Amino acid sequence: MRTARGVAFASLLAALAAATAMPADAGRQTPGLQVALKARGLYAGPIDGIAGPMTKRAIRVFQKRNGLAVDGVPGPRTRAKLGRLGRPLFGKRAMRRGMVGWDVSVLQYLLARRGVSTGGIDGSFGRGTQRALLRYQGRVGLHVDGVAGPVTRKALAKGAIGRVTGHRRISASPAAIRWALGHWSRYYGVSTSLVRALAWMESGNQPNVVSAVGARGVMQVMPATHRFVERVLVGRRIPHSANGNIRVGILYLRHMLRLFNWNKRLALAAYYQGPKAVRRYGLFRESRVYVRAILSLERNSFA
């Protein structure tokens, strides 16, 4: 018969084992678990990253069926039994097209949370995931290579992109927005009808819109784009106001037009998905829809 001290020691060991079975960021890893269990026909809930009752019940059923300790913890042995979708954990490798795994499921989930659809969360890094990743990288000012390396993973995992804490609220009347769109487009020699169509497509002329990936204001300008325009295109600071946002967006659009020899279709696509991605991959399907909509607005609503 075990002594009380022995029982307490055994309980401590069990607690430590459970605590170290998964990394400190276990909550972030949950989508990988859900996808792996769903592929086994054990989980029918949404891929939501929440280890709720359905997820916990599914993991226990899986463990019982596979002769594992039924503790509800997806430790190394449980993940190994899950096969290709059970490894590796997110953060252990760079991900690129053609890969399959737990980490790819988490990548797809995080991209979807940032407002970039991969076409499904299934743990398989196909064309849809590559395009979504390229679009995300272009929109947030990362190196656009379609590879989820350390920097891209950090940006996705932190969720810092899209937060506006610490920034003052930008406000302006509809009349002031219309004036700024006309004024800066004429000042920088860009078609006013094109600028107005772009602004309407991006935000509906709303100065306080913040997208899932952190694009802000009327022109949906990323913080990295704002810095680029300040440092490279004008050489001085531009206020983070509605007027400044419009000015930066028009300057960046003019820069895209120059890069692509004033081809509006390519310039608009570059504004949306990033110039490097346009040059390397051409227009993504969603970019073609985006460009057609803006050119239609330019012809029919703002001419």
Look at residues 293, 281, 161 and name the one whose alpha carbon lies nearest to residue 224: 161
Calculated CA dihedral for residues 289, 292, 298, 299, nearest 10 degrees: -140
Whether residue 89 lies inside any domain: the answer is: no
- Distance in angstroms (rounded) separating the CA atoms of residues 296 and 234: 31
Whether residue 14 lies inside any domain: the answer is: yes
Answer yes or no: do 20 and 47 share one domain.
yes
Answer yes or no: do 210 and 265 share one domain.
yes
- Distance in angstroms (rounded) separating the CA atoms of residues 221 and 286: 19
Residue 167: phi and psi, rounded to 5, are: -105, 135
Name the pTM for this structure. 0.54
> Helices marked H in the chain — which ranges?
4-20, 26-39, 53-65, 76-81, 102-113, 127-140, 150-158, 174-187, 192-203, 223-228, 242-259, 264-273, 275-281, 285-300
Whether residue 92 lies inside any domain: the answer is: no
Q: pLDDT tens per residue, the chain (303 residues)?
A: 344 444 444 444 444 444 344 444 556 899 999 999 999 999 998 898 888 889 999 999 999 999 999 999 999 999 999 999 999 999 999 999 999 999 999 999 999 888 888 889 999 999 999 988 988 887 777 788 889 999 999 888 875 333 333 333 445 778 888 999 999 999 999 999 999 999 999 888 888 888 877 889 999 999 999 999 999 999 999 999 999 999 999 999 999 999 999 999 999 999 999 999 999 999 998 899 899 999 998 988 786
- Distance in angstroms (rounded) separating the CA atoms of residues 230 and 233: 6
Q: What is the number of structural domains in the chain?
A: 3
Across the strands, what pairs with 148?
95
Answer yes or no: do 276 and 185 share one domain.
yes
CATH number of the domain that residue 180 is part of: 1.10.530.10
- Distance in angstroms (rounded) separating the CA atoms of residues 183 and 62: 64
